[in-house]
Structure 1
Amino acid sequence: MLPFKANPRILASFFKTYPVISPQIVRKRGTFTSENSESVDLAYASYESTESENNPLPPLVILHGLLGSKNNWNSTSKAIHRTTGRKVISVDARNHGDSRHSTQHSYVHMAHDVMNLLKKLELSKVSVLGHSMGGRTAMVLSLLCSDLISSLIVVDISPVKTSLQINTMASLFDAMSNVSVRPGIAMSKARKVADEQLKSITPDVNLRNFLITNLVQTHTGAYTWRVNLPALKENFTAHISNFPSSLKGLQYCGPTLFIGGSLSDYIGKNDLPEIQEYFPLAELVYIEGAGHWVHSQKPQPFLETVCKFLKEK
């Protein structure tokens, strides 16, 4: 039994459409190993101290965006922990980082993965911060299990619409799949080779550097991507690029903050009324000069905004 109250009608409907089985799960070095292939192990990093152990406020769970990982949030997680005193848990989504791969990749599956993780960590109340894909996972989690969520922070993504820029993702998946790096060379050289090949698809050096954080070397010396590109490409149009329409009518009525980048079009300035149909208490703020990667492009204003909300809510 989950240590929090889920919406049984919605869960029954979704798990009929997206069958996800709750397996026996055991903790192993920051991951949970599942005996059932449909439930995915989630790797995580925990930022805590003596102060956080005595802090009565719920831990903050951070969910990264598409093609990202918990490592992208290392410095931000440390800073939030230092500033708020809260324990911070940064999680790798399925098919990303150190978490296991699956052919399935929907927001309902990802929300269920987080439910299982929090259950095994014996956490009955958490705050959640999600960026992009992670933001939608956080939204779905809060709508399905509102009693679990103390407060919600969504970074540069909306349940209302999707940026036209997201349509370029398919070409990025193809470009990454076509990258060829000779086995055995040094990682620094491998990254330069990959960068050169990705230039044809995007002139944005920051985006290329972000993609290349997923390049890893196997024990044989071969290079590969740690993200599950085939699964992400297969599920992109149907499950990743849009917010689940079947959640219409559900609400999370807890404290909610949407943070957008002023240079990004992922959250429209007129979207708030529709956002509030799902999240009645939602506030919307923009970080000036930031694009989609708000937390890395304007780290200090982003940190101040997040910590102010967490201290007040």
Structure 2
Amino acid sequence: MVATKLRRKANIKSIARFSFKTAANLSYKIHGESHSDEPAILLLHGLLGSKRHWDSIGKTILNVTKRAVVSVDLRNHGDSPHTSSHKYEDLAEDILKLLDKLSITRASFVGHSMGGRAAMTVSLMAPETVAGILVVDISPISNSKQLTEYYPRVLEAMRGVDFKKQKKISTAKQKAKKQLENVIKDDILMRAVLSNVKMRADHTIGWACNVDVLIKHFSYITSFPKSMLKKTYYGPCLFMGGQLSEYLPPDDLVGIREMFPRAVITYVPQVGHNIHVEDPKSFLELTISFLRTNK
């Protein structure tokens, strides 16, 4: 079990009040062993990402903090189940179910984009369980045009890729890339999308992410749950934005602090939406400094 010493009666009750009847059994990776009494750290990817994207960063955070570090595939992504729903409340219950499974009753969260909104939702639904949240380049208040207008085009282009005659992952990725190049101009996003090409259980090649449901429920991905807007999380919150990104406008801080009174916003110079990819050194320095304040 991960960090079993973290069990506290109050926190056990906070998780136990959720039924988990519709929660998915998430795929996860534990980054090495930890014997620390400090809160565990969960890493949550963004839209079209997966737990694998945190491998290098997860190892570094473990080595420096000595805390349990767990990267997670959110529902409809990576190796986690494909479900018929993709609401943030669902994602949060999945995560709480995983904490219960791993005997983690107090954790810090680092979430990028969609994963950041999932982390915020967890903190508002079960605040006693959350030691702190680091939200990477996303806001609960507003949306970037890249998210609302560009990503639907990306998902539709992905749905149009035909893998039927493909036998090898490498050639399937090459074909997918050729079909997607007219829509996806960003190298980081293209790599993330192509990392979703996988051999499925029925020995056919296809997308690891549930493209159809992500398209169907895209309105939920682009809107922070209204049911959360009147809730408050009083723990430590760091919102980390990319200076060249439009996902986290400074003007949103007033609205953010209505839900997260201790929220602080910081910006990493000369990077866009994928801070942890574009400047991992600055990302890790800020992340580790923040996590050390989470008790």
For residues 1-313 of structure 1, the aligned pairs below 5 Å read 3-5=12-14, 21-23=19-21, 38-49=22-33, 52-53=34-35, 55-166=36-147, 167-181=149-163, 183-218=165-200, 222-237=204-219, 239-313=220-294
Distance apart, 1:269 and its partner CA:
1.6
SS in 2 for 1:80: helix
Distance apart, 1:210 and its partner CA:
1.2
Contact 1:262 1:289 (8 Å CA) reproduced: yes
Distance apart, 1:124 and its partner CA:
1.3
What is the alpha-carbon distance in structure 1 between the residues aligned to residue 253 and residue 15 of structure 2? 26
**CA offsets per residue over residues 167-222 of structure 1, 9 Å max, x none?**
21111111001112353543222211111110111222322121000001246653
What is the alpha-carbon distance in structure 2 between the residues aligned to residue 200 and residue 174 of structure 1? 12
- Which residue type is aligned with residue 107 of structure 2? V
Structure 2 unaligned runs (5+)?
1-8
Contact 1:183 1:222 (8 Å CA) reproduced: no
What is the alpha-carbon distance in structure 2 between the residues aligned to residue 7 and residue 42 of structure 1? 18
Contact 2:167 2:205 (8 Å CA) reproduced: no
Residue 4 (structure 2) aligns with: none
SS in 2 for 1:40: coil
**CA offsets per residue over residues 245-290 of structure 1, 9 Å max, x none?**
2222211001111100111011002221211111001111111111
Contact 2:173 2:194 (8 Å CA) reproduced: yes
- Which residue type is aligned with residue 231 of structure 1? V
Contact 2:200 2:206 (8 Å CA) reproduced: yes
What is the alpha-carbon distance in structure 2 between the residues aligned to residue 133 and residue 263 of structure 1? 18
Q: TM-score if structure 2 supplies the norm length?
A: 0.91
What is the alpha-carbon distance in structure 2 between the residues aligned to residue 188 and residue 97 of structure 1? 18
Contact 2:25 2:97 (8 Å CA) reproduced: no
What is the alpha-carbon distance in structure 2 between the residues aligned to residue 241 and residue 200 of structure 1? 24
Distance apart, 1:63 and its partner CA:
1.0
The 1:111/1:291 distance shift into structure 2, 3 A limit, reads same
- Which residue type is aligned with residue 310 of structure 1? L
Structure with bigger RCO (C-alpha 8 Å, 6+ apart):
2
- Which residue type is aligned with residue 285 of structure 1? T
Q: Count the aligned residue pairs.
A: 284
SS in 2 for 1:89: strand
Structure 1 unaligned runs (5+)?
12-20, 24-37
**CA offsets per residue over residues 69-112 of structure 1, 9 Å max, x none?**
10011111111111111110111111111111111110000101
CA RMSD of aligned residues (A): 1.9
SS in 2 for 1:66: coil
Q: TM-score if structure 1 supplies the norm length?
A: 0.86
- Larger deviation: 185-194 or 93-102? 185-194
- Larger deviation: 181-190 or 207-216? 181-190
- Which residue type is aligned with residue 29 of structure 2? A
The 1:283/1:307 distance shift into structure 2, 3 A limit, reads same
- Which residue type is aligned with residue 134 of structure 1? G
What is the alpha-carbon distance in structure 2 between the residues aligned to residue 241 and residue 73 of structure 1? 23
Q: Tell me the percent identity.
A: 36
The 1:3/1:212 distance shift into structure 2, 3 A limit, reads same
Contact 2:114 2:221 (8 Å CA) reproduced: yes
- Which residue type is aligned with residue 223 of structure 2? N
Distance apart, 1:129 and its partner CA:
1.0
**CA offsets per residue over residues 11-58 of structure 1, 9 Å max, x none?**
8xxxxxxxxx524xxxxxxxxxxxxxx321100000132xx21x1211
What is the alpha-carbon distance in structure 1 between the residues aligned to residue 239 and residue 110 of structure 2? 10
The 1:308/1:191 distance shift into structure 2, 3 A limit, reads same
